[in-house]
């Protein structure tokens, strides 16, 4: 059961060990957590659950994080949900996504393995 006084983060991640790590990390730091294992499921949950923030992986089966990010941006009901990207894809992808004119850059970008303090500081900055 979710605590309605806490902010909610939707974690979109296909690797079970990384998913488990992020869910535990966010819960320990007093966030409600929703999960999705690919971009298609993540986008549907974003539309129905309206999380306060989305943690998004890039490389996933069925539907990538790039497609989900574009779908979020294009949908009026989800376009204002902040997204942080947590991925194993190199920094070159960060430069690529930040240079795209079709979508705004993400609110944050972190490479795996993450710097927990930096991720937490960015989330607090976004949500406060």
β-bridge partners, 9: 33, 53
What pLDDT sits at residue 97? 62
Q: Tell the burial category of 17 from Cβ atoms under 10 Å away from its Cβ (0-12, 13-18, 19+).
A: exposed
Q: What pLDDT, on the 0 to 100 scale, is given for residue 89? A: 74
76: Cα separation from own chain's centroid: 18
Residue 8 CA to residue 98 CA, distance in Å, equals 25
Contact criterion met (CB below 8 Å) for 53 and 126: yes
* Sequence-ordered strand ranges (E) for 16-126: 32-36, 53-56, 83-87, 108-111
For the domain bounded by 8-127, which CATH number is listed?
3.40.50.2300
- What integer pLDDT is reported at residue 98 of this predicted model? 61
Helix (H, G, I), strand (E, B) or coil at 106: coil
pLDDT in the model for residue 115? 95
Mean pLDDT (10-residue bins), the chain, 128 residues: 88 96 98 97 97 94 87 96 88 61 82 94 96
pLDDT value, residue 57: 93
Domain ranges of the chain: 8-127
């Amino acid at each position: 059961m979710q605590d309605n006084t806490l902010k909610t983060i939707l974690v979109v991640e296909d690797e079970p060990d990384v998913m488990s790590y992020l869910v535990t990390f966010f819960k320990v730091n007093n966030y409600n957590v929703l999960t999705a294992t690919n971009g298609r499921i993540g986008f549907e949950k974003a539309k129905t659950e309206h999380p306060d923030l989305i943690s998004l992986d890039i490389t996933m089966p069925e539907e990538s994080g790039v497609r989900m990010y574009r779908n979020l941006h294009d949908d009026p009901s989800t376009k204002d949900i902040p997204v942080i990207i947590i991925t194993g894809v190199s920094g070159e992808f960060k430069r690529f996504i930040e240079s795209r004119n079709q979508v705004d850059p993400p609110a944050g970008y972190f490479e795996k393995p993450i710097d927990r303090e930096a991720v937490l500081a960015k989330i607090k900055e976004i949500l406060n």
